[in-house]
Chains A and B, each alone.
Chain A
Amino acid sequence: MSESTDRQVKADSLGVGLGVGLYGISFGALATTGGLSVAQACALSLLAFTGASQFAFLGVIVAGGTATAGALTAVLLGARNTFYAISLAPILRVRGLRRFTTAHLVIDESTAMALTRPTVHQSKLGFYWTGLSIFIIWNLMTFVGAVAGNAIGDPKAIGLDAAVAAAFLGLLWPRLDTATTRWLAFIAGAVALGLVPVTPAGAPIIVGGLLAVAIGLVIGKSAAQVGDE
């Protein structure tokens, strides 16, 4: 890794940008088949610009939940970006107006491509090239997907409702790397399903999800040790 040149860092970043940006098409298509307008799908990608939160908002709306429940779930998921930004702050050292534009690019992939670099210079390259290329391609592909989604008659006939579940599973998968997180994920899912018949749509997701977080925090230290196995 220490041998990598600036050019390689840029090429790697563009590769990640292209790969991740492309699945903006799935967000766009699922958004309009789920009842959002093309403008609403594009607004989310432009302004929220954090995939998991966008899918979560959509998921709650599709499940029949309120916009408030959807927004709450999405913003809770966005909290991890705060901690990415904390790790990035001493590397990027952005001040003034630059801070406001840089903040928008803080997402999973730009953080990963920055923190794995040996020098500050290459970390910055990785962050901005990854962040900007994802931003551009993700937004273009959201628009393409949203327009295409509008043309689809019955989303269930082509299994798009299953694709929403698969998208969440894809985002969850890399986090299931320890026994603790697998158990907590199981508890969150089970509690959420238990609540489905007795609470308004949207509530099971928030309550089930946060209950698992609370359990994870209570078992605290022992869980951290298990997590290190």
Chain B
Amino acid sequence: MSELWWGIIAVSFGCYLLKLAGLAVPEHILEHPFTVRAAALIPVGLLAALVAVQTFSTGTQLVLDARLAGLAMAAFLLWRNVSFLPMLIAAAATTALVRLFW
């Protein structure tokens, strides 16, 4: 089996066990202020890093290209409370148009 499949199995098991742990493990073991705060911060850190890497890099190189225009469009639409799917489509279209005309 390919490395990708093993990764998918690991993600599936890991994510499921994390959900199950919350229902099965006694509350006081997990609900420490430190762990609660860490759990709230992890999505902020990882998602922000993912946004940056996905926008400004290709492989191991930093690049500035049409993706930035798409991200700016996404940020504007999120600020205007546009919902997820139209926002994604507008971001993709913006980048595609910039690539077409530059």
Residues of A within 8 A of B (CB): 19-20, 22-23, 25-26, 36, 40, 43-44, 47-50, 52-57, 59-64, 66-68, 70-71, 73-86, 88-89, 92, 94, 99-100, 102-104, 106, 156-173, 175-176, 181, 184-186, 188-193, 196-201, 204-206, 208-213, 216-217, 220, 224
- Give 3 closest A-B pairs by Cβ, nearest first: A85-B22, A67-B7, A162-B70
Known: A94-B23, A175-B43, A204-B49. A75 touches B14 (CB 8 A): yes
- Whether the pair B83, A19 counts as a contact (CB closer than 8 A) is yes
- Residue contacts A-B, CB under 8 angstroms, 16 given: A47-B8, A48-B15, A57-B8, A77-B42, A77-B46, A82-B39, A86-B27, A163-B88, A165-B70, A166-B71, A170-B74, A188-B48, A189-B51, A205-B49, A211-B45, A213-B38
A103 and B23: CB pair below 8 A?
yes
Interface residues on B, range: 35 or more
**Is B34 an interface residue, CB under 8 A from the partner?**
yes
Q: Are B42 and A85 in contact (CB under 8 A)?
A: no
Contact A44-B18, Cβ < 8 Å, known A83-B30, A163-B91: no
Q: Which one of B4, B87, B89 contacts A40 once the chains associate, using CB atoms below 8 Å? A: B4
Report the minimal beta-carbon distance from A35 to chain B, rounded to whole angstroms.
8
B15 x A53 contact (CB < 8 A): yes
Report yes or no: A79 in contact with B12, Cβ–Cβ below 8 A: no
B87 and A166 contact, CB distance less than 8 A: yes
A129 to B16, CA, bound (A): 19
Are the CB atoms of B85 and A23 closer together than 8 Å? yes
Q: Please, which residues of chain B bring their CB within 8 A of the CB of A210?
A: 42, 45-46
How distant is the Cα of A158 from the Cα of B89 in the complex, in angstroms? 10
Residue of A nearest to B5 (CB): A40
Cα A82 to Cα B14 in complex, Å, equals 11
Please state if B30 and A86 are interface contacts (CB–CB under 8 Å).
yes
For B24, the chain A residues whose CB sits under 8 A away are 99, 103
Report whether over half of chain B's contact residues are helix, strand or loop; otherwise say mixed.
Answer: helix
Contacts of B51 in A (CB 8 A): 165, 168-169, 172, 189
**Residues of chain A within 8 A of B54, CB atoms compared:** 59, 62-63, 161, 164-165, 168
Cβ–Cβ contact B91 & A82, under 8 A: no
- In the assembled complex, the Cα of A68 lies from the Cα of B5 at a distance in Å of 11
Q: Which residues of B contact A71 (CB under 8 A)?
A: 7, 10-11, 14
Q: Give bound CA distance, A89 to B27, whole Å.
A: 9
Which chain A residues lie closer than 8 Å to B89 at the CB level?
163
Additional A-B contacts beyond A162-B66, A166-B73, A196-B53 (15; CB < 8 A): A50-B15, A57-B11, A61-B4, A75-B15, A78-B11, A103-B22, A159-B67, A159-B92, A162-B55, A163-B92, A165-B51, A165-B54, A167-B88, A168-B47, A220-B37
| A195–B66 alpha-carbon span in the complex (Å) | 22
